[in-house]
Structure 1
Amino acid sequence: MIGKDFIRVLYIDLRNQKADIQERKDLYKYLGGAGVAAKLLEENMKKDVDPLHENQPLIISIGPLSTIFPVVTKAVATFVSPHTGEYGESHAGGRLAMAIRNAGYDAIVITGKAQKPIYLVITDKNIEFKDARAIWGLDVEETGRVIREREPGPGKRSIIRIGRAGENLVTYSCVNVDTYRHFGRLGIGAVFGSKNLKAIMIMGEEDLPISNLKEYFKTYQEIYKKVTQTDAMAKYHELGTPMNIKVLNSINSLPTKNLLQSNFEYADDISGETFAEKNLVRKVSCVGCPIGCIHIGQFRREFDKGYEYESIAVSYDHELIYALGSLLGIKTTDEVLQIIDEVELAGLDAISTGVVLAWATEALRKGLISREDTLADLEFGNTMEYIKAIDNIAERVNEFYYTIGKGLKEAVKKYGGEEFALLYGGNEMAGYHTGYAFALGQTVGARHSHLDNAGYSYDQSAKELKDEEIIDYVINEEKERAVLTSLCICLFARKVYDRATILKALNVVGINWTNDDLTRLANDVFFTKLKIKKELGYSLENYKFPKRIFETPTMWGKMDEERLNRLLKMYIERVEKEYEDWSRGK
């Protein structure tokens, strides 16, 4: 808590409908966000039971600077991932961090399974367990609408909820946060579903006690000017991340048609520029951010004969355009938005959904699966058939869709096609095919995310690829990002929040840390996550990369399998040694 030396944790037991609050001084050294959430997962998880067992915990945490300084907008969730069976972590913006802060909490730990579908209402005065049977089965949009109508109240609120995919335990289902943001990747939606938890609404009116207001306003203005009056974040407001489509396409790094190609002949037609010219209607910010990086596009959908149309607004970014656009061979912005909308309503992770469908398209073509399995004519560029398939995934309508609802890793065990399954560390590939650092980075990252260490950035900026430099970059960048995510700073603002700025902001709220303290935090969070993974059975020994990534050129040409395997071995040896040193020093 601000001005205190403890982390205020709300514990909720869904089975017994009880709540407890603890003030944890021992967690204070982890600040918040990813650090606190990882420690709470470590102490509450059950190593020898299924990830979707009711006793497995779900944790959401914010940081000491959340909503107090610009672009400190994220909340961090941790859980045992039903998708990979190991460490699960996801980040979301919107209004959630503000709502948790205003309700008076730093972290929330949820355990147990409700005896019937429920949603939670958490305020600064009460915790209520509400009957959700009437909204179980509703899509994400309708769920949000019903709860908004049912639960009026003072102050700004955040509503997070799942769709049909989460209810049906699809292991890459997500949690929608305030309509345009998400806890994506790794199956947190299925964790909600396994607990009969449809949604959580959070709001409150707690004050934020800042003692040194003069120094606070001075520091706030300095950071605000860096955010708004320099080039550090300008690109995120203008075209946003969709600007990557043209850039990656021009350097043979845009995964296309299940990575049969690394450039797309229709890239210009689904580029950030084309979206901006044809579909962009507004830009939205998370609470506490002046940038407006959330780009909302609009398309028309015919709902009846006689030229009856409705306008649908959907948020889009690079990863969605890649996974539900180029990877599926979709040629127009309107069609990409249609597919995104279907994914949103179902409550699915967009990246995993697109990668699974791209694999299924090629598997159907090669005869590994049949039309009787897919119930749709999956073919690159066929938008309406993909929309059918997305609905089938969410509903898990037959054995095939039940299997691919467990993710691509499980699909290839049953149907084959491992050589063209775009998987890194058991998680579906993000939207970059830049080279060795990306391939290594997503594989070894704590949550197998491209954002763990941004290896793609090294590939794109290096003048020469050097093995030792790649290893250094991937490790050091992930540790540095552990500091940012423990503070819940949006990673888009990583150039704004250098260490000097972070220390100044912390000092203003009474946390008098040094640079050495930040380094200690970076190592503690990095190795705590690794410890959790090890306890859950994680290992990269004898790991095999998919053959497809070596067949299709990157910006550096075709990757050499032997070299990538060597890099993986170098990484494992380096991190294991550091882990042993860290463990002895604990």
Structure 2
Amino acid sequence: MIRDFFRVMVVDLSSGATRIAEHTGRAEFLGGSGLAALLFETYGHMDRSWDDPDQPLIFAIGPLTGYYPLMSKTCCAFRSPYHDEYTESYAGGKSALSLRFADLDALVVTGRAPRLTALCVGSGGTDLRDVEFLRGFDALQTGRVLRKMFPGAGRRSILRIGPAGENLSAYACINVDTFRHFGRMGGGTVMGAKNLKGICILGDQGFPLPEGKAYPKLYRRIFEQLTTTEMMAKYHGVGTAININPLNGLKSLPWRNLQATAAPAAEAISGERFADDVLLRNAACAGCPVGCIHIGFVRERFQANNQYLYRQVGYDYEPIYSCGGMLEVTDPSQVLRILDVIEKEGLDCMSAGVALAWATEALEKGVVSKGETLLDFAWGDAETYMRGVELISRPPNEFYRQLAQGTLKCAARFGGEDFACVLGQEMAGYATGEVFFVSEGLGFRHSHLDAGGYAWDQKHDEKDVDKALEFLIEDSRKRIVVNCMVGCLFSRGVYTEDLLAEALDAVGHTGFGSSLSAIGERVQRLRWRLRVRMGYDPRQVKIPKRYTELTTWKGPIDTDYLEALRTEYAARILSMAAPAPGSE
């Protein structure tokens, strides 16, 4: 049955109480990103810090989840421990379909459990279990235990954290079904602050598909576009790791803590080399026929008994960039070994890799000493970097306590801010130029997926501030519409707004044909308004000096253009965050 309201489960970990709430707003906010922002405005607290027990952790899906291919993401929203402001993160796996089969549009978790706890939710209610015995368990071990504790079929999704979340690293992630993550901005930290080790979502109901000919006909058309054309071939084939060589050729590949934007050695960790040397298999999120998840294997020999252990480790472009190029580790197997430790500890791989790259340069320059790092970090030394990951997750001293809160925070305490590769958070892997640096540095989620600034840089060598910023704002709005569905952004070339309106109509959500653009703008403004109300001032954002020292395919970075973009984008963000006339 198609509902014009949102069905939301609200769980209070402090009391153990659970209730179902019905929220209006489908026509104004659709779902996903829009629903998450609406729910945070309802349940969140603007005047309390991120770790206040009453702050909500929100998981929201969209109106097309379960109906069409690649509508397979979940939006996770929270007040971030990284900057103490509203943010979002996205993950696939089975989480979205499990929520749909549990007959929920969203899950809202508030409160703090008295002891380490696991939560299981389904259409029939909730189950809270004391799992204090799991304290200190890594994310992969925890997943194995939770699967035994909460048995279920293929519609079950297991979310969990590792030691980094328990120890409140600001960039701890939430592992979703082993190979997917709510990776950025500290969702795992929020779970840790709530004493929540894991969440099991049981999709224990069915739901009817639309009757008539329109829906199956449209489904087939969309499926064919996604599977028989070249639009998605990149993602299934070599995967996003294929970006290594092109970005290296464009002098846009961050290398050795962004001391360079290209390197001859980059070919050794190209997507093609990973596919040839370590690729084991492809996997897919539930409801996706593409299979973009690339899983490599790590083989280790144990000297004591001469036995070998094989482990499976997921990879794509961002993990290779951050734990390969940024650290100058040029052996695919060694990159996977670093990623394996990051997975177990439950850290965001981009933030962890960039943090270690900064620490290496800081040690190399004498900004810090081995007395702080405890390790002799050196470019390419994978073994030492693996130990460094564990120290970030389980900080033994002030240096690692600060580094676990963010590279720039550590640099502010110890020095080395000029070469901290932070654009709102530890940067994504696109040293493409001024537009991207401003896009990520000031962007809502400080993510390369907020808008295609990296794409603009690669196609435009003119320096037109107005055109660049119009692109960023409009591209962000279009992506927000997809994030309200909640669809995989890889499919945005297929799911145009006209097609999304047709898809909504075919499943019974009628009347959206001309309103999707307005909804995208409404959600865009609400999200910015939430951040600004919590203290965000884009005018105060600084682009570290390292970004002004680079050379890309267009030549040296133009600092005047960079500053003009930064200043004007900050003004436009504040304009978007301002209340609409007559709304307050």
Give the TM-score normalised by structure 2: 0.98
2:554 match: 556
Does residue 484 in structure 1 map to residue 460 in structure 2?
no
- CA distance in structure 2 between the partners assigned to 1:20 and 1:117 by the alignment: 22
Does residue 218 in structure 1 map to residue 217 in structure 2?
yes
Change (3 A) 1:71 1:528: same
Cα-to-partner distance string for 1:427-481 (whole Å, 9 max, x where unaligned): 1110000011111110221111110002001111225342222111110011111
Does residue 521 in structure 1 map to residue 519 in structure 2?
yes
- CA distance in structure 1 between the partners assigned to 2:27 and 2:512 by the alignment: 15
Alignment of 1:351-370 (within 5 A): 351-370=350-369
Partner SS, residue 536 of structure 2:
coil
Superposition deviation, residue 154 in structure 1: 4.5
Partner SS, residue 336 of structure 1:
helix
**Deviation larger for 121-130 or 153-162:** 153-162
Equivalences, count:
584
Superposition deviation, residue 555 in structure 1: 2.3
Cα-to-partner distance string for 1:190-222 (whole Å, 9 max, x where unaligned): 100000000000113322233334211111001
Alignment of 1:179-258 (within 5 A): 179-258=178-257
Asked whether the 8 Å contact 1:459–1:465 carries over to 2, the reply is no
- CA distance in structure 2 between the partners assigned to 1:430 and 1:147 by the alignment: 32
2:510 match: 512
Alignment of 1:227-376 (within 5 A): 227-376=226-375
- CA distance in structure 2 between the partners assigned to 1:542 and 1:62 by the alignment: 33
Asked whether the 8 Å contact 1:82–1:171 carries over to 2, the reply is yes
Change (3 A) 1:512 1:431: same
2:565 match: 567
Partner SS, residue 282 of structure 2:
strand
Cα-to-partner distance string for 1:273-331 (whole Å, 9 max, x where unaligned): 00000111100010111001000011211233353211111010000000000000101
- CA distance in structure 2 between the partners assigned to 1:186 and 1:322 by the alignment: 19
- CA distance in structure 2 between the partners assigned to 1:533 and 1:424 by the alignment: 17
Residue type of the alignment partner of 1:253: S
Partner SS, residue 396 of structure 1:
coil
1:75 match: 74
Residue type of the alignment partner of 1:162: I
Superposition deviation, residue 580 in structure 1: 4.0
User: Where does the alignment leave 5 or more consecutive residues of structure 1 unmatched?
Assistant: none
1:466 match: 464
Residue type of the alignment partner of 1:420: F
- CA distance in structure 2 between the partners assigned to 1:583 and 1:573 by the alignment: 18
**Deviation larger for 360-369 or 381-390:** 360-369
2:445 match: 447
2:15 match: 16
2:396 match: 397
**Deviation larger for 555-564 or 205-214:** 205-214
Partner SS, residue 209 of structure 1:
coil
Superposition deviation, residue 264 in structure 1: 2.1
2:92 match: 93
Asked whether the 8 Å contact 2:67–2:209 carries over to 1, the reply is no
Superposition deviation, residue 515 in structure 1: 4.0
Change (3 A) 1:365 1:584: farther
Asked whether the 8 Å contact 2:295–2:315 carries over to 1, the reply is yes
Does residue 112 in structure 1 map to residue 111 in structure 2?
yes
2:421 match: 422
2:133 match: 134
2:408 match: 409
Partner SS, residue 132 of structure 2:
coil
Does residue 456 in structure 1 map to residue 434 in structure 2?
no
Does residue 52 in structure 1 map to residue 54 in structure 2?
no
- CA distance in structure 1 between the partners assigned to 2:289 and 2:352 by the alignment: 31
Asked whether the 8 Å contact 2:442–2:541 carries over to 1, the reply is no
Residue type of the alignment partner of 2:309: E
Asked whether the 8 Å contact 2:253–2:262 carries over to 1, the reply is yes
Residue type of the alignment partner of 1:166: G
Residue type of the alignment partner of 2:404: G
- CA distance in structure 1 between the partners assigned to 2:44 and 2:577 by the alignment: 21
**Deviation larger for 76-85 or 27-36:** 27-36
Asked whether the 8 Å contact 1:38–1:528 carries over to 2, the reply is yes
Asked whether the 8 Å contact 1:434–1:556 carries over to 2, the reply is no
Asked whether the 8 Å contact 2:451–2:476 carries over to 1, the reply is yes
Alignment of 1:21-36 (within 5 A): 21-36=20-35
Partner SS, residue 127 of structure 1:
strand
1:381 match: 380
Asked whether the 8 Å contact 1:325–1:336 carries over to 2, the reply is yes
Asked whether the 8 Å contact 2:529–2:579 carries over to 1, the reply is no
1:536 match: 534
Cα-to-partner distance string for 1:40-97 (whole Å, 9 max, x where unaligned): 1122222222211211110000011112100111000000000122122100000000
Asked whether the 8 Å contact 2:102–2:205 carries over to 1, the reply is yes
Asked whether the 8 Å contact 1:445–1:478 carries over to 2, the reply is no
Cα-to-partner distance string for 1:103-159 (whole Å, 9 max, x where unaligned): 110001110000011000111112011111111211111101111122223552000
Alignment of 1:158-173 (within 5 A): 158-173=157-172
Asked whether the 8 Å contact 1:74–1:488 carries over to 2, the reply is yes
Asked whether the 8 Å contact 2:70–2:491 carries over to 1, the reply is yes
Partner SS, residue 406 of structure 1:
coil
Partner SS, residue 288 of structure 1:
coil
**Deviation larger for 566-575 or 229-238:** 566-575
Give the TM-score normalised by structure 1: 0.97
Residue type of the alignment partner of 1:519: S
**Deviation larger for 204-213 or 51-60:** 204-213
Asked whether the 8 Å contact 2:532–2:577 carries over to 1, the reply is no
- CA distance in structure 1 between the partners assigned to 2:60 and 2:248 by the alignment: 37
Asked whether the 8 Å contact 2:528–2:576 carries over to 1, the reply is no
1:152 match: 151
Same amino acid, percent of matched pairs: 40
Residue type of the alignment partner of 1:385: T
Partner SS, residue 134 of structure 1:
helix
Superposition deviation, residue 506 in structure 1: 0.1
- CA distance in structure 2 between the partners assigned to 1:37 and 1:583 by the alignment: 24
- CA distance in structure 1 between the partners assigned to 2:571 and 2:182 by the alignment: 32
Does residue 432 in structure 1 map to residue 437 in structure 2?
no
Change (3 A) 1:25 1:445: same
Residue type of the alignment partner of 1:330: V
User: Where does the alignment leave 5 or more consecutive residues of structure 2 unmatched?
Assistant: none
Superposition deviation, residue 511 in structure 1: 1.2
**Deviation larger for 150-159 or 369-378:** 150-159
Superposition deviation, residue 584 in structure 1: 4.2
Partner SS, residue 552 of structure 2:
coil
Residue type of the alignment partner of 1:328: L
Partner SS, residue 200 of structure 2:
strand
Residue type of the alignment partner of 1:170: S
- CA distance in structure 2 between the partners assigned to 1:437 and 1:495 by the alignment: 22
